[in-house]
Chains A and B, each alone.
Chain A
Amino acid sequence: MEWRRRHVLGLSDFRPEEIEFVIDTARSMEEVLTRDIKKVPALRGKTVVNLFFEASTRTRTSFEMAGKRLSADVVNFSSSTSSITKGETLLDTARNIEAMKPNILVIRHPASGAPHFLSRHLSCSIVNAGDGANEHPSQGLLDLYTILKAKGKVAGLKIAIVGDILHSRVVRSDLHSLGRMGAKLWLCGPATLVPREMARTGATLTSDIREAVRDADVIIMLRIQLERQKTSYFPSLREYSRMYGLNRPLFSLAKDDAVIMHPGPINRGVELSDELADCHQSLVLDQVASGVAVRMALLYLLAGGSHAAH
């Protein structure tokens, strides 16, 4: 397959062959990560700028690591204040960065569509590292990668995603990556956070976590943003945890070989019990490891690599 994309803005328009191609490339990248010297010269002389308008240590570090493993020069630009409060427009900020001639801009922004907007005005490649409640494509791909590695396939698996579906960009990307590969997806959470319209994605919706978890192959728990309680999406954290927290008795309803995933950071004792977070069926750290390989693959392909590395 020939890679033609200049940007990775979201998985909504990715064809299954493209998804498989990225996964194949990530496999070669993972091989690099098993070597003694975990570095290849593929992106030597290329510059990757991490442009983060939202605090995110892990995603930024993962992209930074991915770039460095490929020998790219990686520069981090963080701004916790949004462009509006700062008085400089997003476009002006991005144009300033672009004037320094980076090859790839990795952008994280609280506004949905911010990377799409920039892609219309800039000439460098753009990778969306999470935009508002829209997409987080590298997360969608690394979740797929992690499940493939653990289960050997995705098609036909029952995958339950539990938590704040409404505000989750992870869900929107997972729906594309896992859904397009044939998973049976269940979305679960309080009705205030699981909009009925979501049924149009083909996923099954429920507010009963037992139903979601029963016979599941994979359970993806989402981080609950603590401020949602203040905006009355649910009565209290205690109630949320009682209704939608995953614990051992609930987990026993799932298949014996079921696995648990979480995009992190975990609110221990809220959405995931302490015990389950660390159990041998938890793939949380495998996701982090996969993340570097998948992001290496994306950077590599955008920088002009045409086939699974070397």
Chain B
Amino acid sequence: MLLIKGGRVIDPASRRDEVGHLVLVDGKVKEFLAGEAPGDFQGRVIPAEGMWVTPGLIDMHVHLREPGYEWKEDIRSGTLAAAAGGITSLACMANTRPVNDHPEVTRYIIDRARREGTVNVFPVAAVTRGLEGKEMTDFSELAEAGAVAFSDDGKPVASALLMRRALEYARPFGYLIMTHSEDPELAEGGSANEGWTALKLGIPGIPAAAEDVAIAREILLARQTGGRVHIQHVSTKMGVDLLRMAKRAGLAVTGETAPQYFTLTDAALEGYNTNAKMNPPLRGEEDRMAIHEGILDGTIDAVASDHAPHEEYVKRCEFVAAANGIIGLQTALPLTLALVAGGRVSPSRVVDLLSAGPARLLSLKGKGTLAAGADADVTVIDPEREWVFREEDVRSKSRNSPFLGWTLRGRAAATICGGHVRHSDLPGVGVDG
């Protein structure tokens, strides 16, 4: 039994935003209590005065690297980093080794997560075998094994025909196809956003059109097939505009972005900073502002980190040779909270982007809400806490972040997953073994 006492409980799914107390019993939310805290509570008390109490955050785009790349990250270190970042559930991408294109791999991940993980892990299976873009994987068997969605993330599905078939085949079962939308020919050879910075630095560019063309394709195929498609890591202005148009047309199209795309621009590449190298690449200021607009008007459904850990030496090299991606589990929350500080995004919208939205998209039952009966996944957030993100704070095995040394505002004070405390900054509140 756990009592989270005196916090501002923000639960957009049940339209609650008020100060009160939350009672957790047997791994579930029992009830919300307004007014005075119960004086005779028999259980652990988590003091949350001045804090936000939100449904556990859900990061729907994570590379856990296990199996196959355990030196970059594994399920243990990845879920520890997630817990430190306030994340109680995450969806892990299929570009492992072997690729998660077979139910045995899906079951392996779930089994490892059950034994080693400190938060909930939901595997995403590949759309095509070996991420090769040629043959579809066995959707039903993978879904039965526990895959919550399908994506070849890291690689685009180059064939429009295969994407069409996948959307069409998945439709009657409601499977979610998520896409890394990129036209491989237009992007070929590029290492940075095509624009002034890349031009100045002499780095081959990836045009925004490489992403836009592919997003337009997915939308048109969703329209053609009636299938459901989710655009991953939207980074361009036109991407947001296309998504907005598709939603207005009533299509089953959703989209996520990552904090780096509304926080940074390609100017971060100055000095050939390989920790700012990712795919899609950091874009221009106009794109960054458009992502803000998309968040404000609801075009963007979720914020996910695209946590992509890499060992030091694949980033400590020439820019064009460096690996793509940055870690993000511990910075997603504060960087998203910065939108609130900007004054235009409400706290409940942030919770929607980081929890209720992803739960809805992935159809995770009992997640993304604090309604009675929901899973006891809760994040206690100190929205005012200022802290510097230092190397020694990193819980991931990898340190490839452009945000190291940044002063961030807002932090997970406690992360509770299934009623167990998985992370705590709060005095007197220890982490469960």
A and B found bound together:
yes
As a 0/1 sequence over residues 241 to 283 of chain B, the CB contacts with chain A under 8 angstroms (1 = contact) are 0000000000000000000000000000001100000000000
Q: How far is the CB of A217 from chain B (nearest CB, A)?
A: 26
B195 touches A112 (CB 8 A): no
Point out the residue from B196, B199, B200, B321 that lies within 8 Å of A111, measured CB to CB: B321
Judge whether A113 and B199 touch: CB under 8 Å: no
A169 to chain B minimum Cβ distance, whole angstroms, is: 6
Does B313 count as interface, using CB distance less than 8 angstroms?
yes
- Residue A195, interface by CB 8 Å: yes
B427 on interface, CB distance cutoff 8 Å: no
With A112-B201, A134-B202, A172-B202 as known contacts, state yes or no: A197 contacts B318, CB within 8 Å.
no
- Partner among A91, A113, A197 whose Cβ is within 8 Å of the Cβ of B319: A113
Contact A117 B272 (CB under 8 A): yes
A109-B318, A111-B320 known; A116 vs B272 contact (CB < 8 Å): yes
* Given A91-B316, A112-B320, A169 and B271 contact (CB-CB distance below 8 Å): no
Instruction: Report the minimal beta-carbon distance from B206 to chain A, rounded to whole angstroms.
Output: 14
Contact A114 B318, beta carbon cutoff 8 Å = yes
A134 and B317 contacting across the interface, CB-CB below 8 Å: no
Chain B positions within 8 Å of A195 at CB level? 194, 199
- Which residues of A have CB within 8 Å of B317? 83, 89-91, 117
Chain B contacts for A84, CB-based, 8 A: 321
Total A-B residue contacts, Cβ distance less than 8 Å = 62
A135 CB within 8 Å of chain B: yes
Interface readout for A119-146 with B: 1 if CB under 8 Å, 0 if not? 0010000000001111100000000000
Report A137 CB to chain B, min CB distance, Å: 13
- Give which listed residue, B200, B202, B203, B313, contacts A89 with CB less than 8 A: B313
Asked if A200 and B196 sit within 8 Å, CB to CB, the answer is yes
CA distance A133 to B271 in the complex (A): 15
A198 part of interface (Cβ distance < 8 Å): yes
Contacts of A114 in B (CB 8 A): 318
**SS class of chain B's interface: helix, strand, loop or mixed?**
loop
Which chain B residues border A12 with CB–CB below 8 Å?
200
- B204 interface residue per 8 A CB criterion: yes
A89-B313, A133-B204 known; A197+B199 contact, CB < 8 A: yes
Measured in the bound complex, the distance between the Cα atoms of B272 and A133 in whole Å is: 13
A283-310 interface code vs B (CB 8 A; 1 in, 0 out) = 0000000000000000000000000000
Nearest B residue to A121 via CB reads B316
Among candidates B194, B196, B272, B316, residue contacting A112 with C-beta atoms closer than 8 Å: B272
Q: Is the CB of A113 within 8 A of B318?
A: yes
Instruction: Determine whether the beta carbon of B313 is less than 8 Å from that of A112.
Output: no
- Cβ of A163 to closest chain B Cβ, rounded Å: 16
Given the complex of chains A and B, what is the CA–CA distance between A89 and B313 in angstroms? Answer: 9
Specify which chain A residues have a CB less than 8 angstroms from the CB of B316 in the assembled complex. Answer: 89, 91, 121
CB distance from A177 to the nearest CB of B (A): 16
Interfacial residues, chain A to chain B (CB-CB below 8 A): 12, 82-84, 89-91, 109, 111-114, 116-117, 121, 131-135, 166, 169, 172, 195, 197-198, 200
Which 3 A-B pairs have CB atoms at the shortest separation, nearest pair first? A134-B202, A113-B272, A111-B318
Q: A83-B321, A135-B202, A197-B199 are in contact. List 16 more A-B contacts (CB 8 A).
A: A82-B321, A112-B202, A112-B272, A112-B318, A113-B202, A113-B203, A113-B272, A114-B318, A116-B271, A131-B202, A132-B202, A132-B320, A133-B202, A134-B201, A134-B203, A166-B199
B residues contacting A by CB (< 8 A) are: 194-196, 199-204, 271-272, 313, 316-321
Q: Would you list 28 pairs from A and B whose C-beta atoms are within 8 A, ordered by A residue?
A: A84-B321, A111-B318, A111-B319, A111-B320, A111-B321, A112-B202, A112-B272, A112-B319, A112-B320, A113-B203, A113-B319, A114-B318, A116-B272, A117-B317, A117-B318, A117-B319, A121-B316, A131-B202, A132-B202, A133-B202, A133-B203, A133-B204, A135-B202, A169-B202, A172-B202, A195-B194, A197-B196, A198-B199
